């Protein structure tokens, strides 16, 4: 609906975009993204089994609008990180909110 201009909006924020099925990074879910003409902010976990970062960067490079990518280091699809990284969930949420506000104000 967004890609076809059916929803009135001026920006999009993606939290953990499911670019492909788990284990199948060659099956991209990207065709509709190329039709979107509003700026987009993508948050992606570096360990997300549904979003290979190299594939995502390739897709983003082909978009016809402004975009930004914020990577959650160690994060999975829900931005959960291993305890060994010593980062609390509230810290991750704070970073996402701060980045979102910065992007919306920019």
Which of 42, 41, 39 shows the shortest CA–CA distance to 16? 42
Contacts of 61 by beta carbon, 8 Å cutoff, 6+ apart: none
Opening angle at CA 57, ends 52 and 62, nearest 5? 130
H-run or E-run covering 15 = strand 12-15
CA distances from 103 to 22, 60, 95 (A): 29, 17, 12
pLDDT tens, per residue, the chain with 106 residues: 666 777 779 999 999 999 999 999 999 999 999 999 999 999 999 999 999 999 999 999 999 999 999 999 999 999 999 999 888 999 999 999 999 999 999 8
Question: pLDDT at position 86, please?
Answer: 87
């Amino acid at each position: 609906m967004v890609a076809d201009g059916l929803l009135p909006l001026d920006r999009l924020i993606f939290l953990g975009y499911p670019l492909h099925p788990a284990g199948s990074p060659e099956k991209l879910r990207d065709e509709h993204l190329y039709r979107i003409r509003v700026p987009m902010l993508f948050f992606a976990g570096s360990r997300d089994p549904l979003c290979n970062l190299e594939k995502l960067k390739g897709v983003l490079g082909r978009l016809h609008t402004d975009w930004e990518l914020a990577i959650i280091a160690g994060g999975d699809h829900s931005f959960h990180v291993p305890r060994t990284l010593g980062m609390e969930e509230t810290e991750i949420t704070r970073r996402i909110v701060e980045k979102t506000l910065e992007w919306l104000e920019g």
